[in-house]
Amino acid sequence: MTTTSLRPTLFVAIAATIVACTTPPPPGDAGSDGTGADSLIFPDVSVDGSARYAPDYRRCTANNQCDTANDEVCDLTFPGGMCRRIVCGDRTDCGNLGICSEQGCRPYCTLQSDSCTIYGGICLAFRIPFDTNTGCFAACDPNAPAASNDPEGGMRACLNMLTCDPYNGQCVSRPTTSGAVNGEPCTDDRDCRSGLCIPEVDSLSGPRPTGFLGGYCVSYGVLPRESVFAAARGMNLPTSTCPSGTVVLPAPEAAPGSAARCFKACTTDAQCRAGYRCDMRGGGMDMFANGGCVPIDCAAAGAMCPAGSSCQRADADAGALFTGSRCVRNSDAGAPDASADASADASADANPTDSASADVGAMDAAAD
């Protein structure tokens, strides 16, 4: 894709802020996903801080295919399975290829890259500092044929009669059915089926309004290749590994295979909540037949903030979650003065398509 209307700095900044204030449930906490309840019983393991070994995080279907002498188990929450330690003390326990997270060793990865596709996963940051604490988390494909296990990191099926839960990317016996779906309002991660809520106010950076009025439940999907978006022009946007009823928007600054947010699908603004619009252009690309519900840029021509909120214009200190002018509830901390016109000058934004819809790039947000 050659479009340049998206602002690359948004991708890293928004995810870095969200990771600090939202922590989705780790593997084993949402639904039923790779614990004893799924007959995927992980043995008790001890962590020897002095142990050194060289795991390769290879595929597996059973524990006996892994290095059990070094406490590896076959984690079937990953599509195709993955041999890894599920307990670790620090990064030295995970080998040169790995990193230690709260849920054990996992392959180390580079944000906004496709470095996790070979494992059937996506790269996410799980603690501060975000640029170094990054690992591969499961990203199963609910549309993968049962017999598909592409060795090159393409569509990959779940093993052992497990099924893909697109809200958390894991292979499970019982997909999550509780919690709000993507696009619905939320105040806490626990409100969302995915375990990830973009809050209305980011309490860790100010506090600062995010532009996502009422909060917004999202989940992670795999960013498709450029050719997939090109083929979809004039048709519906790809859903990738996202839940049904959601879409992925183009993100030319991020590598195919990296993490992308799954937004509620729409064909008209009326299908989105107040304060949101239906982005059918995907960051300035040729229009698609549908779009994703994203916060409005209230400085764009004709944009109006909902009653009870005002337009906070973008500036150098506009915040990490939103580069466009955003609607802020008048009662929110950091809200603009009431004198800020909700229908702010359209001239304040020379590119009205460059808005929060750009929040579709690499998702370096927490999964631990």
Rounded-to-integer distance, Cα 223 and Cα 258, Å: 5
Other C-beta atoms closer than 10 Å to the C-beta of 257 total 22
Q: Per residue in 106-143, pLDDT tens? A: 999 998 899 999 899 999 988 887 778 899 999 998 88
* Closest alpha carbon to 119 in 16, 222, 242, 39: 222
- Residue-level pLDDT at 154: 56
Question: Quick check: helix, strand or coil at residue 5?
Answer: coil
Rounded-to-integer distance, Cα 220 and Cα 254, Å: 14
Q: How far is CA 363 from the centre of its chain?
A: 5
Q: Please list the alpha-helical segments (H only) found in 122-265.
A: 226-232
Contacts 24+ apart (CB under 8 A), 49-53: 49/89, 49/90, 49/92, 49/93, 51/93, 52/92, 53/95
Phi, psi of 89 (to 5 degrees): -95, -40
Task: Judge contact between 125 and 133, C-beta under 8 A.
Answer: yes
- Which residues lie below 8 Å from residue 327, measured CB to CB, with a gap of 6+? 211, 213, 275, 295, 296, 298, 305, 306, 309, 310, 311, 312, 342
- Residue-level pLDDT at 144: 77
| Distance between start and end Cα atoms, the chain | 32
The 10 Å CB-count burial string (b at 16+, else e) for 66-88 is bbeebbbbbbbbbbbbbbbbbbb
- Residue-level pLDDT at 315: 57
pLDDT by position in tens, the chain (length 368):
333 222 222 233 333 333 333 333 333 333 333 333 333 434 444 444 444 678 899 999 999 999 999 999 999 999 989 999 999 999 899 999 999 999 999 999 998 899 999 899 999 988 887 778 899 999 998 887 765 665 555 556 788 889 999 999 999 999 989 999 999 999 999 999 999 999 998 876 667 788 899 999 999 999 999 889 989 989 999 999 999 999 998 887 788 999 999 999 999 999 999 999 998 876 566 689 999 999 998 888 888 889 989 888 765 454 445 567 888 888 764 544 333 333 333 222 322 222 222 232 222 333 33
